[in-house]
Amino acid sequence: MADDKIQQAKLRFGIIGNDPQLERAVWRALKVAPIDVAVLVTGESGTGKEFFPQIIHAFSPRKHARYIAVNCGAIPEGTIDSELFGHEKGAFTGAVATRKGYFEEADGGTVFLDEVAELPLTTQARLLRVLESGEFMKVGSSQVQKTNIRIVAATNEDMARAVAQGRFREDLFYRLSAVRIKVPPLRERGNDISLLARKFASDFAGEYRTAPVSFSPEALMELTRYRWPGNVRELRNVITRLAVFAEGELVSGERMRAELPAEAASYTPVKAGAPGSDRYEREREMLFNLIFRMQEEIEGLRRRIEPSESSARALAPHGAREDAPPPSAAAMPTSLVKYRPIAPGIILPHPADDGVIPVTPAEEIPPARTLEDTERETIRRALARNQGRRKATAAELHISERTLYRKIKEYGLE
Ligand SMILES: Nc1ncnc2c1ncn2[C@@H]1O[C@H](COP(=O)(O)OP(=O)(O)O)[C@@H](O)[C@H]1O
Ligand SMILES: [Mg+2]
C-alpha cells in the first residue's frame, strides 16, 4: 500500500507520529477496512485505540451508514443488553416504550465495542449470535430480528487470560479477532514522544491564546525515558500542566523531571494524610504495583516464547508457577531493563534514574506468589487507602468500576 495513503489517514484523523509499529497498525486498518470482517484492536490504555475503528469505518463501504461507539465498561451490567439490543415496552420496570438498541440503530454500519472484555457472559452469548447470523432479540421479546453490522472491538486486557479465567467466551474471542491490530505503547515509539509533546504544547497555546512552552533537549530526553503507563493520554496531561504553569518558558530537564511521577509511584497516587501515606507504606505499595505489572509483562513474554505451554500454565491452580525461574535481565522487555533485580522476581527502580530511593530491604518483601495473590493484595490495599470507595479505588488502579466490583467479589474482599 502506498505510503501516502497511510499519511493521508493520519492527517485526516489527527494521528501524530511516524513510529513504524504505529504506521503498521494504520496500514493494517486501511487494508482490512474494505473487507467485512471483525477486527480486534489491542493495546494499553491511552495508546489511541479509538482511531482504528474510525479508520476502518471511514474506509469501508459502510462509511455512509452509522458508526456507533459503545464503551462496554461504562454501562451497568443490568442495562447493557437493553442498550445493545433494545427492549420491548414493559420488558422491565421503567421500560415505558419500545426502544431500539445500538445494533439495530447501526444497521448497515459499524459498531465499536470498546473495553469488550467487560461484557457480561450473558451479553457475550447474544453478541456471538449477532456475529454468527446477524440475529438478535430485543429484551423482553421473543421475536427474532436481523441486523447487518460490522463489529470492531478494543481491549487493553489480555484476552487469553480472560478466556483462561472463564470471564470471556473463547468462541466469541475468536469471532471478534478475525484480524487483530496492536497499537504500540508510547514508551516504544521513540521520537514520536517529542513530536506529540510539541504538538500538544502548540495546540494548547493556540486554543487558549497563551505563549507556548518549549522544551530543552534534556527535557525531551526525560520524556523519552519515562515509562508512560497512561500513554498518550498521560503525556497530554503532563504537557497541559506545563503549558499552564510554565507558560512561555523553555522547560529544562530538571523542571520536566519534577513534572513526571516517579515511575513506579505513577500507578498509585497516595493522598496526603490518607492511611498508609507514610513513606514506608508508600514504597511497599509501589513495589506491589511494580510486581503486579511485571508479572503481567513476564506472563505476556512467556506466552510469546512458549505459546503452547503457557495456556496450560494459565489454567493451573494457584502456586503452580512457584517453580518458574526468576526473570533474567536479558529476558525482560526493554522497558524494564533500566530496573535492576534485587531479589528473584522483584525489581526496584534504579535510584539514579528517577530519584526514588528503594530502601525496603529484600528480606522484608513478601514473596510474589501468584499473580492472583498479588492482585488481591493490590486491590485490598487500594480499597483501604480509599476508605472502601470503589470509584476512587478503580480510578487509582486504572480499571473500570465493574472490573473492580467483580474482583472484590472474586477475592471476597467485601
Ligand atoms: N498518535 C496520536 N496522535 C494524537 N493524539 C493521540 C494519539 N494517540 C492518542 N491520542 C490521543 O490520546 C487520547 C487517548 O486516546 P484513546 O484512543 O482514547 O486511547 P485508548 O482508547 O487506547 O485508551 C485521545 O484524546 C487521543 O486523541
Ligand atoms: Mg479508549
Given this model, what pLDDT does residue 348 score? 37
* Whole-number Å distance between alpha carbons of 104 and 178: 23
C-alpha distances (whole Å) from 25 to each of 18, 58, 266 are 11, 16, 28
Alpha carbon 226 to its chain centroid, in Å, reads 18
C-alpha distances (whole Å) from 29 to each of 41, 57, 159 are 9, 9, 20
Task: Provide the 3-class DSSP secondary structure of residue 150.
Answer: strand
- In this prediction, residues 53-63 reach a mean pLDDT of 98
Cβ of 327 below 6 Å from ligand 1: no
- In this prediction, residues 43-48 reach a mean pLDDT of 97
pLDDT, tens only, 319-333 = 333 334 444 434 434
Binning pLDDT at 50, 70 and 90, where does residue 349 land?
very low
Given a cut of 80, is residue 158 above it in pLDDT? Answer: yes
**CA 114 to ligand 2 centroid distance, Å:** 6
More confident residue, 373 or 75: 75
Q: Considering every ligand atom, which ligand is closest to the CA of 45? A: 1
Which residue's alpha carbon is nearest to atom 9 within ligand 1? Answer: 48
Given this model, what pLDDT does residue 215 score? 97
Given this model, what pLDDT does residue 289 score? 57
Given this model, what pLDDT does residue 283 score? 53
* Mean pLDDT over the full length of the chain: 81
Alpha carbon 135 to its chain centroid, in Å, reads 30
Which of ligand 1's atoms lies nearest the C-alpha of 114? 21
Residues 6+ apart with CB under 8 A from 42: 49, 154, 155, 156, 159, 180, 181, 182, 183
Q: Which of 14-23, 363-372, 373-382 has the weakest average pLDDT? A: 363-372
pLDDT, tens only, 216-248 = 999 999 999 999 999 999 999 999 999 999 999
DSSP 60: S
Cβ of 10 below 6 Å from ligand 1: no
More confident residue, 219 or 344: 219
Given this model, what pLDDT does residue 314 score? 41
Cβ of 49 below 6 Å from ligand 1: yes
- In this prediction, residues 114-138 reach a mean pLDDT of 96
- In this prediction, residues 27-54 reach a mean pLDDT of 97
Given a cut of 90, is residue 42 above it in pLDDT? Answer: yes
Share of residues in the chain with pLDDT > 90 (%)? 60
Q: Which of 27-41, 142-156, 289-303, 376-390 has the weakest average pLDDT? A: 289-303
Cβ of 15 below 6 Å from ligand 1: yes
- In this prediction, residues 97-120 reach a mean pLDDT of 96
| Mutation test residue for ligand 1: of 54, 118, 233, 238, the one with most atoms within 8 Å of CB | 233
CA Rg, the chain, in Å?
23
Write down how long the chain is.
414
pLDDT, tens only, 379-407 = 888 888 888 888 888 888 878 888 888 88
* Whole-number Å distance between alpha carbons of 109 and 56: 11
Given a cut of 50, is residue 26 above it in pLDDT? Answer: yes
* Whole-number Å distance between alpha carbons of 332 and 295: 11
More confident residue, 281 or 91: 91
- In this prediction, residues 3-21 reach a mean pLDDT of 96
More confident residue, 135 or 378: 135
Given a cut of 90, is residue 74 above it in pLDDT? Answer: yes
C-alpha distances (whole Å) from 4 to each of 7, 12, 26, 27, 199 are 5, 12, 12, 11, 21
